[in-house]
């Protein structure tokens, strides 16, 4: 059987091995990604982001069950913090979702950030494509706890969910700026805590003040949940499906797919250029060039222009 035939038949070992090769950047894995790419673009991708401790993993666990009950085949990419010792993922997310591990309709993969910014791992897009090619109909991407400008999830997910909780001091401060603006749906988790209604009022006020940011876009809704007791989970998934329908009816669903393909192209190109430049400078001659730049014997601006001309990448350098 070919690689894609094994994936489409649900061969877990093939999928797991391929994902490991992707994450470890094993030579030759790019050829396998080329093979599966034509079979991607069918899954509905849901992103879950928010500050650390908001309950993202517990929500993801509950969403898996709800999506399964609605006939979906679910993939989960859980971005975990990087171990300072092994460099691998600290598998907190997968531990919380272990009850689903024996279900053939669920595939869960934990990834370490490995220093990558933006709340995701470098290999997230490729792992999502593998799950897509496997036939997963819904793929949940749960980011590591993020700050204000770590908003890469919007490039991957059709529907981006921002999870907040009450009782964090300046409740809304943590989701201002970029991360506030990426939300398609807000989930106020742990809504049984003291201060939940205050946080809810502040969220509604900020949404009302931010209407101008959503000119041609659906204003995000807010769902209150208590993930540990399943409160609000069905309602939250209902809102996710409502947003999917809105995207499909407005033409934004396919537009997002096109934009994601474009982003994948540019990121692949940047990675290859970076690798080639790194190899290019791994010579004694070019190491001496770098040393002259370090000693301010050469002007880095001029050298960059000269190199761009040499690589035929610049038509406007003067």
pLDDT per residue over 186-228, tens digit each?
A: 999 999 999 999 989 988 888 888 777 777 778 899 999 999 9
What are the extents of the domains in the chain? 3-250
- Asked if pLDDT for residue 85 goes beyond 60, the answer is no
279-317: pLDDT as tens digits: 888 889 889 999 999 999 999 999 999 888 887 765 544
CATH H-level superfamily of 3-250: P-loop containing nucleotide triphosphate hydrolases (3.40.50.300)
- Please give the torsion angle defined by the CA atoms of residues 202, 208, 211 and 213, in that order, rounded to the nearest 10 degrees: -10
Distances (CA, A) of 62 to 55, 127, 153, 205, 243: 11, 22, 20, 29, 19
Least Cα distance to 73 among 44, 52, 113 occurs for 44
Burial of 24 (0-12, 13-18, 19+ CB in 10 A): exposed
Local structure of residue 170 (DSSP, 8 states): S
Distances (CA, A) of 169 to 50, 198, 224: 16, 11, 19
**pTM higher than the cut 0.75:** yes
Local structure of residue 117 (DSSP, 8 states): S
What 3-state DSSP class applies to 282?
coil
């Amino acid at each position: 059987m070919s690689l894609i035939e094994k994936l489409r038949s649900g061969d877990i070992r093939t999928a797991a091995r391929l994902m490991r090769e992707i994450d470890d950047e094993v030579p030759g894995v790019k050829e396998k990604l080329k093979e599966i790419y034509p079979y991607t673009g069918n899954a509905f991708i849901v992103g879950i982001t928010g500050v650390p401790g908001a309950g993202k993993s517990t929500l993801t666990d509950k969403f898996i069950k709800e999506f399964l009950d609605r006939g979906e085949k679910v993939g989960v990419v859980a971005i975990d913090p990087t171990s300072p010792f092994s460099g691998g993922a600290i598998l907190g997310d997968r531990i919380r979702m272990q009850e689903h591990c024996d279900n053939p309709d669920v595939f869960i993969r934990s990834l370490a950030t490995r220093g990558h910014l933006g709340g995701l791992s470098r290999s997230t897009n490729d792992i999502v494509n593998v799950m897509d090619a496997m036939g997963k109909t819904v793929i949940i991407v749960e980011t590591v706890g993020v700050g204000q400008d770590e908003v890469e999830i919007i490039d991957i997910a059709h529907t981006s969910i921002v999870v907040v909780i009450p009782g964090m001091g300046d409740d809304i401060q943590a989701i201002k700026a970029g991360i506030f603006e990426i939300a398609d749906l807000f989930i106020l988790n742990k809504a049984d805590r003291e201060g939940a209604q205050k946080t809810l009022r502040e969220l509604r006020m900020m949404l009302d003040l931010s209407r101008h940011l959503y000119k041609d876009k659906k204003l995000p809704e807010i769902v209150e949940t208590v993930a540990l007791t399943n409160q609000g989970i069905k309602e939250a998934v209902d809102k996710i499906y409502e947003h999917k329908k809105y995207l499909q009816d407005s033409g934004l669903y396919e537009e997002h797919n096109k934009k994601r393909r474009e982003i994948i192209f540019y990121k692949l190109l940047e990675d290859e250029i970076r690798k080639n430049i790194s190899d290019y400078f791994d010579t004694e001659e070019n190491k001496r060039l770098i040393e002259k730049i370090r000693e301010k014997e050469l002007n880095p601006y001029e050298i960059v222009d000269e190199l761009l001309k040499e690589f035929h990448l610049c038509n406007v350098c003067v």
